[in-house]
C-alpha cells in the first residue's frame, strides 16, 4: 500500500533505495486486492498528467490534467502489458498476477522522479532539447533495471540469470516502445535521424 512505513519513508521510496529487502517485506504483508490494485498505476498516471502540462504550457489546470491523463493512460497500459508479460514468464512466482502487478508498479519511483525533474526543467527552458531529455532518461532506466532484477528474483522467484534476462527484456521493450512513439510523433524515423 502507498504510505509511510515505520521508518517514515514510503514503501515505494524504500523500494527504490533497497529493492530486495523491501520486496521481501512487502511480500510478507497482505496482498493488495480489489480496486486498490489501481492505486499505484493511478499515481503514475497522475504524475504524467501533471507534468505534461507543465512541460507543454507551463501551467496546470484541472482540464489540462484530465486531458493529459486521458491522453497518456496508454503509457501506463503499455507498462502493464510489459509487466504482465514479465510476471507471466515466471510460473514459480510467489504471489498471484494481480498482487505481482501491484508490486511491479511500486518500482516506478526512478521514472516518476525523472519526470518531475526533467519535465519541470523543460517547462522552464525556452527551448526544450529532446536529445537531452532522452539522454537523461538513461539514469532512471539503469536504476529501474536494478529494481526489476530484484523484483524478478524476490517476487517472481527467478534465478539471478533469469532476473537479468527479464530485466534486459523490460529495458529493450520500454525503450523500443518509447523511441518508436517519439519517432511516430515526430513524423517518422527520418525526421529524428538528422
Q: Where do the domains of the chain lie?
A: 11-186
User: What pLDDT does 56 receive?
Assistant: 78
pLDDT at 148: 95
pLDDT at 83: 92
Number of CB atoms found within 10 A of residue 71's CB? 12
Question: Which pLDDT does position 54 carry in this prediction?
Answer: 81
Residue 191: the pLDDT is: 65
Task: Give the residues of the chain that fall short of pLDDT 50.
Answer: 1, 4
Give the pLDDT score at 186.
67
Q: What is the pLDDT of residue 117?
A: 86
Query: Which position has the grid cell 522467484?
Result: 157
* Residue 193: per-residue pLDDT: 61
Amino acid at each position: 500500500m502507498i504510505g509511510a512505513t515505520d521508518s517514515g519513508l514510503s514503501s515505494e521510496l524504500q523500494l527504490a533505495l533497497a529493492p530486495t529487502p523491501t520486496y521481501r517485506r512487502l511480500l510478507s504483508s497482505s496482498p493488495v486486492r480489489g480496486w486498490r490494485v489501481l492505486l499505484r498505476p493511478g499515481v503514475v498516471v497522475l504524475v504524467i498528467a501533471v507534468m505534461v502540462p507543465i512541460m507543454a504550457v507551463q501551467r496546470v489546470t484541472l482540464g489540462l490534467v484530465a486531458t493529459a491523463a486521458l491522453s497518456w493512460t496508454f503509457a501506463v497500459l503499455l507498462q502493464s502489458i510489459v509487466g504482465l508479460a514479465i510476471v507471466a514468464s515466471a510460473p514459480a512466482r510467489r504471489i498471484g498476477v494481480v498482487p505481482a502487478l501491484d508490486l511491479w508498479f511500486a518500482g516506478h519511483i526512478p521514472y516518476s522522479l525523472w519526470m518531475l525533474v526533467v519535465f519541470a526543467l523543460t517547462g522552464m527552458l525556452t527551448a526544450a532539447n529532446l536529445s537531452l531529455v532522452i539522454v537523461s532518461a538513461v539514469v532512471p532506466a539503469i536504476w529501474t533495471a536494478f529494481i526489476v532484477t530484484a523484483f524478478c528474483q524476490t517476487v517472481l522467484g527467478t534465478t539471478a540469470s533469469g532476473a537479468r534476462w527479464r530485466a534486459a527484456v523490460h529495458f529493450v521493450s520500454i525503450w523500443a516502445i518509447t523511441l518508436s512513439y517519439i519517432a511516430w510523433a515526430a513524423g517518422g524515423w527520418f525526421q529524428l535521424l538528422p
